[in-house]
Structure 1
Amino acid sequence: MKTKKTKLIIAILVIIIGLITLAYYKVERYADRPLNVKNETIFTLPAGTGRVGLESLLVESKLIQENHFFSWLLRVEPDLSHFKAGTYRFTAGMTVRQMLELLESGKEAQFSIRFVEGFTLREWMAVLQNAPYIKHQLADKNGEQIAEALQMKETKNAEGWLYPDTYLYTAGTTDLSLLQRAHQRMEKTVDKIWQGRADSLPYKTPTDMLTMASIIEKETAIKDERSEVASVFINRLRIGMRLQTDPTVIYGMGENYHGSISKKDLETPTPYNTYVISGLPPSPIAMPSESSIEAAAHPAKTAYLYFVANGQGGHTFTTNLDSHNKAVRVYRDLMKSKNEK
């Protein structure tokens, strides 16, 4: 009798162990099942979300199907349930286990934003406004208000004082914190270059040098000729000649600029119109690259006073008005010839 009872207990235990083993095997197989992700997917896990909440979000997002395996997986492997709030990037082929390990790691998705050299502050703010997952604190603020928010020391206008580059950020990052990073980097760059600048330059402050760099940035995209462009403007400043550079006119026109400037625009006074004012404008007119700042700090030693586009992407530099006018005629003839073809 005892033998039969013992055998029955053993049989039941074997069945139970078998069922547990089978269940464990199915749960483990489920863990290695890929998510329903065909293309890269951004998934946000709100703070305070528990096991049930996570499962609901995954089902609602159609990343997994509703079943009992998910909750059992978190019971069988409790280490996988220590997930952290944030925004994550799920990729094609990622398994349920890999997804949970990612959520446990806290390695949030990185996004990138590119601030282009030569863009104005207004253009930078438009880029920020259209960037995903950014928290906006500076919307509709002008250059002076942004400078105040960034606690700028050298200037009351943020124009020019932000370093152009590609910056990485996570979801929820503020536009203020991104611009703080760009400003801190520009501040260090300007300070380093200012300390090593050439002697006897007509700058009173680092802002003057940065303003010159912004004009150089807008005048040429060719790195190798930036020091020559700088020499033209430095030579003009030294003899009291007006800079007469179109980008400053355009900047002063603001939203009134629609792609071209007229003779009237050149004659209309603004704080930035260097056809009307003497010396440098009151602040930079764009965000200059580091190479333009270097050019402003180390201009070529030339006698150039003029330059004009050569129709091939670069410029022709001259020392007197007659030579400049000839270069202008050559450029216009070249453009006319190209338009007639």
Structure 2
Amino acid sequence: MYIKRILLGVVLVGLIGGGIFAYMVYGTFFTSNTSFNNDEAAVFIPTNATVVDLEERLSPILEDFDSFESAADRKGYLSNIKAGRYKIKKGMNNNEIVNSLRSGNLPVKVSFNNQENINDLAGRIAAQIEADSISLVSAFNDKDFLKANGFDDANKLSLYIPNSYEFFWNTSAEGFRSRMLKEYNRFWTETRKNKASALGLEPNEVIALASIVHKETAKVDERPTVAGVYLNRLRKRMLLQADPTVIFAIKKETGNYDTIIKRVLYRDLEMDSPYNTYKYAGLPPGPISMPDISAIDAVLNPKKHNYYYFVANVEKFGYHMFAESLTQHNRNKEQYIRWINAQKIKR
């Protein structure tokens, strides 16, 4: 009888202990552990993250980080923390959270357009993925990479076709650059290449001209007409005489790309720069900004006409008046000069 009581006691203690253990396991793995009110929260885990990094990013959205850490340790996650962007849903338990962080890396949408130089582009991208602007600038300026893929320092911005793309947040600078090379090659289809060839231009020359067209007019419907003007001038071996190239030359010379120049002065036209198309024939060495795809396609599909000149239309702002002859252009230009003087725009 005594032995039976001892055995019964042992069994009861075991049951109680097992119950407590089961309760603790259940609480650690299967009890809701989120503390936010929205339906879901985004978590960004950096490359080579430690438990300290996890605590910094997860504590604001969890009820109890310690219980999460315990569950993550038992599931082997802490020895293999994965970088990326993850989604935690309201009401998730630690088991579900660990599973999400282990295999639920979600892409982010990366968008860019109209950047005027590599540094601006790097800053724009760094705000959207993990790679910082310094590593991005370094990757963008890599001379070996540029040479191997047909680019140089002047036209390297041509590689980046403005659009929206999906990337994993933890993409490296080199990974971003490599993806953009693939997108560049994908963009330049045989159809586009053939159109460029018919114009006597290489793809990077098309982008250089498109950057001028983009700067000349924000009106997408007018861009094929403007592109036609410059192509007519190129065919006649005339100077392009594009004000935006002079403005870019000034910015490049000063190193201040934030300078706002509303009026190009006659003295600016004498600036000795390969980007000054009043002084040097042909296209500039590279793009003066990042043109929209609409501007690139405008060059590839220009409007056929006999215009060689254009000036801002003061009666229809945003658009231009086009002319076939210099005489007609000078008459149009007089209206613009009167208007700009009336506005007292000096620079």
When normalised by structure 1's length, the TM-score is 0.77
- In the alignment, structure 2 segments of 5+ residues that lack a partner are none
Q: Secondary structure at the match of 2:86?
A: strand
Q: What residue is the counterpart of 1:163 in the other structure?
A: 161
Paired with 2:332 and 2:321, the residues of 1 have a C-alpha distance of 7
2:207: which partner in 1? 210
1:95 aligns with 2:93: yes
Distance in 1 of aligned mates of 2:122 and 2:85: 26
For residue 269 of structure 1, what is the aligned residue in structure 2?
272
Aligned match of 2:23: 25
Is 1:229 the counterpart of 2:231? The answer is no
What does residue 303 of structure 2 align with? Answer: 300
Residues 49-88 of structure 1 mapped to structure 2, 5 A cutoff: 57-58=54-55, 62=59, 63=62, 65=64, 71=70, 75=74, 78=75, 84-88=81-85
- CA gap of 1:328–1:92, structure 2 versus 1, over 3 A, is farther
Matched residue type, 1:240: R
Specify whether residues 210 and 192 from structure 1 end up closer, same or farther in structure 2 by C-alpha distance, changes over 3 A only.
Answer: farther
Match of 1:146 among 121, 142, 149: 142
SS at match of 2:33: coil
The alpha-carbon distance between structure 1 residues 182 and 274, as it changes in their structure 2 partners (threshold 3 A), is: same
Native 8 Å contact 1:28 1:73 kept in 2 = no
Partner Cα separation in structure 1 for residue 196 and residue 71 of structure 2: 70
Q: Could you say what secondary structure the match of 2:32 adopts?
A: coil
Paired residue for 1:317? Answer: 322
Shift of 1:268: 1.3
Q: Structure 1's 85 and 305: CA in aligned 2 closer, same or farther, altered over 3 A? A: same
Tell whether the 8 Å contact from 1:34 to 1:95 is kept in structure 2 after alignment.
yes
Alignment: residue pair count = 326
Deviation for aligned residue 1:230: 0.9
Cα 1:329–1:18, aligned 2, differ >3 Å: closer, same or farther? farther
Cα 1:14–1:286 shift into 2, 3 Å: same
TM-score, scaled relative to structure 2: 0.76
Q: Aligned equivalents of 2:179 and 2:171: distance in 1?
A: 12
Q: Quick check: 220-229 or 4-13, which moved more?
A: 4-13
Aligned partners of 2:230 and 2:240 also within 8 Å: yes
Residue 197 of structure 1 aligns to a residue whose secondary structure is helix
- SS of residue paired to 2:44: strand
Query: 2:88, 2:100 within 8 Å by CA — same for their partners in 1?
Result: no
- Equivalent AA in structure 1 for residue 265 of structure 2: S
Q: Is 2:44 the partner of 1:42?
A: yes
Kept after mapping to 2: 8 A contact 1:190/1:293 = no
1:127 has 2:124 as partner: yes
- Are 1:211 and 1:283, in contact at CA under 8 Å, matched by a contact in 2? yes
1:94-150 superposed Cα distances (whole Å, 9 cap, x missing partner): 432222111232x33544443214633342133345555205445468x7x435324
The residue type equivalent to 2:329 in the other structure is H
SS at match of 1:42: strand
**Distance 1:152-1:334 versus aligned 2 partners, 3 A rule:** farther
Q: 1:320 & 1:302 partners in 2: Cα distance?
A: 13
Which residue in the other structure is 1:281 paired with? Answer: 284
3-state SS of 2:142 partner: helix
Per the TM alignment, residue 302 of structure 1 is displaced from its structure 2 partner at its CA by 0.6
Give 1:263 shift: 1.9
* Cα deviation code 1:27-63 (max 9, x no counterpart): 324432223457644344747x6xxx58x95389634
Shift of 1:277: 1.1
Unmatched 5+ stretches in structure 1 = none
Which letter maps to 1:42?
F
CA distance in 2 between counterparts of 1:185 and 1:329 reads 45
Shift of 1:276: 0.8
Distance in 1, Cα, partners of 2:225 & 2:167: 37
Query: 2:267 is matched by which residue type in structure 1?
Result: K
- How large is the Cα RMSD of the aligned pairs? 3.7
Match of 1:33, SS state, is coil
